A and B are shown apart, each in its own frame.
Chain A
Amino acid sequence: MIRAGLTKSEIDSTRIIAEVSESGNGATTVFIGTVRSVNDGREVQSIEYSAYEPMAEKEILSILREASVNYGVKNIVAEHRLGEIKIGEASVVIVASDPHRAPALDALRYVIEQLKKRVPIWKLEHYADGERSWVSAAEGQPA
C-alpha cells in the first residue's frame, strides 16, 4: 500500500504506523521531520509551508513508487504538513513497513532525500525579531 498526503492539520504518526503495519512485517521504520527553533543561527518563531499542491502530491507519490520498486517495499506512506506550524511539530512523516529492516530503512532514506530535492513545497520562516524569509533547502541545514 502506497499513499501520499498533504494536510493542514497535525500529522498523526500513530495512525500512519497502524496503516502500513502488517503481521508478516518484522520492520516498520519511521521518519519524523520537525520544525527547529533555531535555523542558521536565527531564532524561529513559526514556519509556514505552502505547496503547488497537485504537483507536490503527484511528485511524492512518484518517489514512493520509486522507493517501492528500488527496495521491494510494498507499504510506504508519506504525509507532509502545510500551513503554519509551531516549533516542535511534525512537518513530514514517512513510514515504511517490510518483512525485513534493511529495505524498510533504505526506502525511508530514499523518500526523504528525494522529497527534499524534488517536491514543490516552500517554507517561509518567521523569526523572533519580526523578519521573515523563504528558506531554500540548499541554504538551510537538512532536517
Chain B
Amino acid sequence: MTVTVRFFASYAEVLGQPSLVLDLTNGATVYDVVSHVAGMPGAAGLPPAPLIAVNHSYAKHSAILADGDEVAFIPPVAGG
C-alpha cells in the first residue's frame, strides 16, 4: 500500500521537500513512517516524536495506516 507524507513550514525546509509517497507493508503504523523520515537527510531538524496527523486529524504513533492515507508532520503551531 502507499501513503502520502506531507511536511510543512520548518520541517519542509530542513527536509528539502513538501511531500513524498511511501510504499508500506499492510499493517504499517505511523511509527513506521516516522522511523523512515528519521533516516532522511535533514531529519536532525525534527524532534524524535513529531506531532502527526492522519487524514487531517491528530493521530498517535501507534495508529495503523490504510492505503491512500495522508500522513502529515505538524511542526509547533503558531496561529493567532
Contact = CB atoms under 8 A, between A and B. Distances in A.
B68 to A, nearest CB: 15
Interface residues of A, number: 31
A94 to B, nearest CB: 9
Given A52-B8, A52-B72, A55-B72, A137 B53 contact: no
A92 B80 CA distance: 6
B79 A49 contact: yes
Contacts, number: 74
Interface residues of B, number: 17
B61 interface: no
Given A52-B6, A55-B53, A122-B8, A137 B72 contact: no
Nearest to B13: A134
Nearest to B10: A134
A50 B9 CA distance: 7
27 contacts: A55-B53, A55-B57, A55-B72, A56-B79, A58-B57, A91-B79, A91-B80, A115-B79, A116-B77, A116-B79, A117-B77, A118-B58, A118-B77, A119-B79, A120-B77, A121-B78, A121-B79, A121-B80, A122-B79, A124-B9, A134-B9, A134-B10, A137-B76, A137-B77, A137-B79, A137-B80, A140-B78
Interface of A: 33, 49-52, 54-56, 58, 80, 91-92, 112, 115-124, 134-138, 140, 142-143
Interface of B: 6, 8-10, 13, 53, 56-58, 72, 74-80
